[in-house]
Amino acid sequence: MSNPYLLLTPGPLSTTATVKEAMQTDWCTWDHEYKSIVEQIRQQLLEVGCTSKEHYTTVFMQGSGTFGVEATLGSVIPNDGKLLVIINGAYGRRMEEIAKVLRIPHVSLSFEANAPVDSRAVEKKLIEDASITHVAMVHCETTTGILNPLEAVMEVIKRNDRIAIIDAMSSFGGIPIAVEELEIDFIISSANKCIQGVPGFSFVLCRRDELMKCKGRARSLSLDLYDQWETMERDSGKWRFTSPTHVVHAFKQALLELAEEGGVAARHERYRNNQRIVVEGMTEAGFTAYLPRELQSPFITTFLYPKHISFTFEHFYTFLKSAGFVIYPGKLTDIDVFRIGNMGDVHAEDMERLNTHLLRYVGESHYEN
């Protein structure tokens, strides 16, 4: 059965037929062949993140990306620690909410949704508050599509001797990230993002020396990052509780296809080209991007509601869905926007086809006088 539409969303994403086919067999979680696949994937993810097995390790966590973020925040920060949450969108706010629910001592540093994180402001906060031990930031805020300056912020965090927790949910595997060179302590992503697998687990690349300090810190039984790692290490790829076996096999295939495409650099270039095409098409159709080009990530773009035509998001969504595309509503509370993603098994010809339907939509809409 072919897909009825392409997902132009921040995830889940459209996947290849071969990734889907990898889920057609049932697998045992205790099987040695299956566990060897888990171990293979753990190593491959270290390679995607440009890290060494000597200094880093990979831990899987059942559930969506938020499960991975919560597992990390809840397992890494000690009771006498303090978290600085950097916020310029909904997913930074979600980390703040997790800290509140888990009663993690924390303070927040907020920026406007259309402004990248200012590393100078981060450093000022770290100097003013010596009790801060950990810093958490979202790399690509899919609230708007903004790409935060990871290198500059990491330089500040490390210069001030803090532990870095990076939510790279929508960027890992889709843009080169030199995790070890940047000295990122914990970086989190999900199976159903740029590596183009399906939903079912998140993963965390961890500095071994920092993860080793986390035994007994977890504020949850199921979301204990250290215990999950210890079990995987001791039993060669075994998860503590039932693992999403079909999703793991799909992810194995997705990693193979990432390598066949030419790795992260090639995928990044495809995503950049996709994003360029859709922005050009939207501009021609009279739509305006929320962010200036220099702040825009290559993964998802936020657009303002147009003024030159009669427009409702519901009508626009239905029109595009009937043409074979599903887009995403906005996540800003103070302005009317919607989002179009270009991650997943989506290519230049798909974006060109979308542009054709965009012009058709504008042509069929009523212009205001």
Instruction: Identify the CATH number of the domain in which residue 289 sits.
Output: 3.90.1150.10
CB 165 within 8 A of CB 214: no
d(CA 232, CA 26): 21
254 and 148 fall within a common domain: yes
CB 236 within 8 A of CB 173: no
283 found inside a domain: yes
CB 229 within 8 A of CB 59: yes
Which residues make beta-bridge pairs with 127? none
Give just the sign of the alpha carbon dihedral 213, 128, 100, 119: negative
- The string of pLDDT tens digits covering residues 175-221 is 999 999 999 999 999 999 999 999 999 999 999 999 999 999 999 99
206 and 77 fall within a common domain: yes
255 and 267 fall within a common domain: no
253 found inside a domain: yes
Domains held by the chain: number: 2
Which of 259, 292, 316 is the C-terminal boundary of a domain? 259
Which of 192, 225, 259 is the C-terminal boundary of a domain? 259
177 and 285 fall within a common domain: no
Which of 230, 259, 288 is the C-terminal boundary of a domain? 259
d(CA 60, CA 238): 10
28 and 99 fall within a common domain: yes
115 and 193 fall within a common domain: yes
233 and 282 fall within a common domain: no
DSSP 60-126: EEES-HHHHHHHHHHHHS-TT--EEEEESSHHHHHHHHHHHHTT--EEEEE--TTS---HHHHHHHH
Closest CA to 300 of 339, 329, 266, 263: 339
41 and 53 fall within a common domain: yes
CATH of the domain at 226: 3.40.640.10
254 and 220 fall within a common domain: yes
1 found inside a domain: no
d(CA 288, CA 337): 10
205 and 302 fall within a common domain: no
**Whole domain around residue 309: which residue ranges?**
6-10+263-364
CA–CA distances in Å: residue 133 to residues 61, 159, 216, 261: 24, 13, 18, 40
220 and 336 fall within a common domain: no
Greatest CA separation for the chain: 70
d(CA 304, CA 339): 9
CB atoms within 10 A of CB 198: 21
369 found inside a domain: no
Closest CA to 219 of 99, 65, 357, 66: 99
d(CA 102, CA 97): 9
82 and 116 fall within a common domain: yes
Would you give per-residue pLDDT tens digits along the chain (369 residues)?
467 899 999 889 999 999 999 999 999 998 899 999 999 999 999 999 999 999 999 999 999 999 999 999 999 999 999 999 999 999 999 999 999 999 999 999 999 999 999 999 999 999 999 999 999 999 999 999 999 999 999 999 999 999 999 999 999 999 999 999 999 999 999 999 999 999 999 999 999 999 999 999 999 999 999 999 999 999 999 999 999 999 999 999 999 999 999 999 999 999 999 999 999 999 999 999 999 999 999 999 999 999 888 899 999 999 999 999 999 998 887 899 999 999 999 999 999 999 999 999 998 875 443
